[in-house]
Amino acid sequence: MNKEIYDNVVIKKLILLLLIILLSLGMTACLEEKKTADVPITGEWSYYSIEGAGKSINREIWEDRNCIPQFHSEDGRTFWFTINGEDIYEGKLVPNKDGTYTMIYDEIKEPLYLSIKGDELIISKPGKLKIVFLGDDE
């Protein structure tokens, strides 16, 4: 009888250990899926700098022209942005598994990618373009 009780206790412990492992893996998977959903992308973002073709243009140049580029997303799924203060580009934000977004709009020929690092929103075309916006404190 002692061997039977011992075997039952061991089986119960193994089942409990297996359940703990499965629950841990399940919780980890849920955390990974929420990675892009928690990114604070909504609100107004003001231009800070642009880099491309070996050149860099900072905010002061745009202030002199009185047309500072802006980026805005009210719901985290759609956006509008303007580079020259006149042309407004509107489209959708598609979340990627790595926490970035792909920007989709009609005028685009190559995809643009969006990421947030600290208080910087970065729109980029890898190897070609990088536009940095800062969150508004208003």
First to last CA, the chain: 74
What local confidence, expressed as pLDDT, does residue 29 receive?
Answer: 54
- Select from 72, 48, 52, 51 the least CA-distant residue to 62: 48
In angstroms, the CA 5 to CA 8 distance is: 5
The H or E element that residue 103 is part of is strand 101-104
pLDDT of the residue at 97? 92
Q: Can you give the pTM of this predicted structure?
A: 0.62
Query: Which tokens is 68 given?
Result: 């500072």
66's CB contacts (< 8 A; 6+ apart) are 85
Q: Which of 127, 121, 71, 81 is nearest to 99 (CA)?
A: 121
- The pLDDT value given to residue 33: 44
Q: What is the pLDDT of residue 34?
A: 40
Rounded average pLDDT per 10-residue block, the chain, 138 residues: 70 73 68 45 84 81 74 89 77 90 80 87 87 75
Q: Where are the domains of the chain?
A: 1-33, 43-135
d(CA 110, CA 15): 52
